[in-house]
Structure 1
Amino acid sequence: MMLVELTAPAADALPVAALRDHLRLGAGFEIADDPAEAAALAGFLRAAIATIEARTGKVLLARQFRMRLDDWRDPTGQPLPFAPVSAIDQVEIDSGAGQVVSVDPASWRLLADMQRPALMPKGMYLPVVPDAGFVTVTFRAGFGTSWNAVPADLAHAVLLLAARYYEDRSYEGSQAAMPFGVSALIERWRSVRVLGGRSGMRRRA
């Protein structure tokens, strides 16, 4: 599988002001109005968001992704790598010889699920992928476009982790460590994988 992030969260969607308050960088200090410091805080937030998304499989701020597969993992339902998924924009099959066919949206649907969303066929199976070809699925995932849409515990976990990165930025190994408080906040959001997400896909259709 190849996964590409097509869009990034808007800079103004990042909670830079909330992180500044959390770090007690008050408005009376020059650092609060320093563009370089604001850019650094945004960088720590992006790093924290990426870490928490990787640990939970949940996309915090909405954006678009493209997933490329050599074949379906399961022709009765293809699990998607992130949640929550708000829409599947396009499904295309490439023959491998440069011929690309857009799959009729009437033949598939999104199975919305907070743990294992999936692309489901409206018939028995998803369309056949040629031996030398591949399939591309373009979809949108995330809780919302603004920070207010992010669940409170995940939002707070991001602030705690970004603050840790800010305070320990001189330590090269700091980003490898997950503070206990952050782990506790994200625990209930972590994906539970049963049989690799394959079994029972038709029963949930």
Structure 2
Amino acid sequence: MILTDVAPLPDSALPLEAFKAHLRLGTGFPEDSLQDGVLNGFLRAALSAIEARCGKILITRSFTWEQTRWRNAEAEVLPVAPVTSVTEIVMRDAEGGEVIVDPALYRLERDTHHPKLCSQRGFLPIVAKGGSVRVSFAAGLAPDWGSLPADLAQAVLMLAAHYYEYREDTGLHGGCMPFGVTSLIERYRAIRLSVGAVQ
């Protein structure tokens, strides 16, 4: 399975000024922008860490997901959530030839934690031996930073500030996700049920 973020967030979509205010960095100096690249790096790292912990994409962007077989030919659970649209499915054969699947053959079943790609006619298209399937889709909780739920936005700033504060620390004690961040994102995490346990 290969999941690719085909439209990474540009720097302009990151809350740089809000992060500077959160860090209480001084303003009005000629050197104000010297750390911008570093600060954006910490913001990206915090976004990625929270997305990974929650299994949710925070700010909407486009992805492709490629695999060599369906795990469930009737309804395939997509790798991230929430998925807002499936834009294309492409079947590739062993020789590299590609065919776009008719959108009438599938539908998106929206779900906060486990969105599914479902067949409209019993089964999803068969993946050729030696071939693959590529699903293109958009996913995200909000179209931009300003539309994010306040608790998630605060968690990103807090975690980015934590990374900034401990940027010279190579030990584990400073690199773990702070409790305040984990408590803010807890309600967004998917509950995984297994036999005799809740994870």
Structure 2-normalised TM-score?
0.91
Residues 54 and 104 of structure 1: is their aligned pair in 2 closer, same or farther, counting only changes over 3 Å? Answer: same
Does the residue aligned with 1:155 lie in a helix, a strand or coil?
A: helix
1:189 is aligned to 2:176: no
Q: Following TM superposition, by how much is the alpha carbon of 1:145 offset from its aligned partner in structure 2, in angstroms?
A: 3.1
User: Which residues of 2 match residues 1-205 of structure 1 at below 5 A?
Assistant: 1-31=1-31, 33-34=32-33, 36-173=34-171, 176-194=175-193
**Offset at residue 176 of structure 1 (A):** 4.2
Verify the 8 A CA contact 2:7 2:63 in the aligned structure 1: yes
Counterparts of 2:102 and 2:127, CA distance in 1 = 14
The worse-fitting range, judged by mean Cα deviation, of 20-29 and 72-81 is 20-29
Deviations 1:69-122 (A, max 9, x none): 111110111111111111111101111112211110011111111100111111
The CA deviation at 1:170 is: 0.6
CA distance in 2, matches of 1:173, 1:151: 32
Structure 2 distance, partners of 1:76, 1:122, is: 9
Q: CA deviation at 1:3?
A: 1.1
**Given that residues 89 and 136 in structure 2 are in contact (C-alpha distance below 8 angstroms), is that contact kept between their aligned partners in structure 1?**
yes
Shift of residue 128 of structure 1?
Answer: 1.0
Using the alignment, how far apart are the partners of 2:90 and 2:157 within structure 1?
38
Q: Deviations over 1:152-198 (max 9, x none)?
A: 11111000000001111111346841100001011111122346xxx
CA separation of 1:71/1:42 partners in 2, compared to 1, >3 Å: closer, same or farther? same
CA distance in 2, matches of 1:99, 1:23: 52
- Report the CA distance shift for 1:44/1:52 in structure 2 as closer, same or farther (over 3 A): same
The residue matched to 1:25 in structure 2 has which SS?
coil
Distance in 1 between the 2:29 and 2:110 partners? Answer: 46
Structure with higher helix content: 1
Tell me if the contact between 2:74 and 2:124 (Cα under 8 Å) persists in the aligned partners.
yes
How many matched pairs?
193
Please state how far the C-alpha of 1:40 moved relative to its aligned partner.
Answer: 1.1
Distance in 1 between residues matched to 2:118 and 2:171, nearest whole Å: 42
Pairwise CA RMSD of aligned residues? Answer: 1.6
Distance 1:65 1:179, change over 3 A: same
What percentage of residue pairs aligned between the two structures are identical? 44
User: Distance in 2 between the 1:74 and 1:102 partners?
Assistant: 20
**Which consecutive unaligned segments of at least 5 residues does structure 2 have?**
195-199
Q: State the match for 1:199 in structure 2.
A: none
TM-score by length of 1: 0.89
